[in-house]
Amino acid sequence: MGQRIDPQVLTDPADRCLLALARLAYRGSSDKQSDQHWFITSAATLVEGYADGLLRSLVEMSDMGKSRFGSALLSAIGDDPYRAWDSRLKWLRDGFSVSVKGDKATQGFLTLVDARNAIVHGEGKLTRLQAGKIGQLVNLSQDLKRVLDIDLSSTRLVFSPTSCPLAVAVCREFVRHLDEKALEVEPRLKTYGVH
């Protein structure tokens, strides 16, 4: 599912993430709800690991930590850039001019993150935060259906047979897009850390 991605235009971490997603897709998912929850959570976690590594590489390449002042700033910031997707996207944009927040690939991936959050924090149901406002609930319900073919029964996620393959496609597109945008800003990422 999805377009073929040329590994020659990717960073090594992006290529490894896409290979891990391919292995996940090959393994597949059964119709059991627990398998579908595991699948969605695994896909989102693989991409999160890639994005955190990308952000860490950009920080290292910036040489920020080589000065006393830079080290103090990094220490003060701590794990804030890695706590949530809004934070990751903010730091990528503000710190490194890698801006992907409103892009279609990012919006699709953030819908998958919403599904993952419902699984992890709501035991398969939308959390109070996700379902708190009617307008937000309607939009999220529409996004889940459009992007991942997930319906809501009240606030419980109801997967279709295409939900897990769609999740992999959404992840692949986001990784490709983020990697492309990061390489436009910092081409050294292509060879950074490769020996």
Domain ranges for the chain: 10-187
- The pLDDT score that the predictor gives to residue 66 is 80
pTM of the model: 0.90
- The pLDDT score that the predictor gives to residue 69 is 85
- The pLDDT score that the predictor gives to residue 1 is 46
**Cα distances (angstroms) measured from residue 189 to each of 11, 73, 102, 169:** 6, 23, 23, 24
Pick out the chain residues at pLDDT < 50: 1, 194-195
